[in-house]
Structure 1
Amino acid sequence: MSCECCDYIGIGDIVEHKMNTNVFGIVIAEAGSIRSIRTSPTLAVMNFHEWELRHVTSGEHQPPAKEDDETNVVRVDFNKGQVLTAETPTEGVA
């Protein structure tokens, strides 16, 4: 792990991509200037050059996970039979 006084990115550091801050994680390996990052939340391993990354300070807030959009969700219970008549509200889909 690196200290706060330098820009060195080492194993154990929490970093994010400079151009896409949705890509962040912990450094798990080094190979020259290449750093292998275990990304969050997918746990996929991605490789970047160290100059593409920046440290995430301990007090910095990570972007929140995307929440489900409930506005366009129609709950359907396929275990129940539905009787459709001409007056059944189907919102134009049936």
Structure 2
Amino acid sequence: MSCPDCDCIEIGDVVEHKMNTNVFGIVIGFMGSIVIIRVSPTLDVLQFHEWELQAVDDDEIPPPDAAAKPPAEADNVIDFTKERKLRKTTTTRGAA
């Protein structure tokens, strides 16, 4: 459900202020031509006129098939739960 004049902004869209792009958030409601957004990262609820806001494109969302790929194994990870020789005379047990 959106306001009749907002043909491009709907509830759940990410929007930013046109004059100050540091103010952005998610649309959580409408009161006529007033758009209510929950601002990030403070989670404050602010109200703006619809002409003060613009929708933010979500270009960085990965395609659905990319999310299904498992992450690559890192070869430089050390498992400290296993015993390892540090020097010629000492070894570790558990998290040293």
Question: TM-score, normalising length from structure 2?
Answer: 0.54
Q: Who wins on radius of gyration, i.e. which is larger?
A: 2
1:31-78 deviation per Cα after TM superposition (whole angstroms, max 9, x unaligned): 111000000000000000110000100026xxxxxxxxxxxxxxxxxx
Runs of 4+ in 1 over 6 A off after TM superposition: none
Q: Aligned pair count?
A: 57
Corresponding residue of 1:52:
52
Distance 1:22 1:30 in 2: 21
Shift of 1:7: 4.6
Shift of 1:8: 2.3
Q: State the secondary structure of the residue aligned to 1:51.
A: helix
Corresponding residue of 1:73:
none
| Counterpart code for 1:52 | E
Distance 1:33 1:9 in 2: 11
Corresponding residue of 2:16:
16
Report the RMSD for the aligned CA atoms in angstroms.
2.0
> Gaps (5+ residues) in structure 1?
61-94
| Counterpart code for 2:47 | N
| Counterpart code for 2:49 | H
Distance 2:9 2:50 in 1: 7
- The alignment status of 1:32 with 2:42, answered yes or no, reads no
> Gaps (5+ residues) in structure 2?
61-96
Contact 2:8–2:55, Cα closer than 8 Å, also in 1:
no
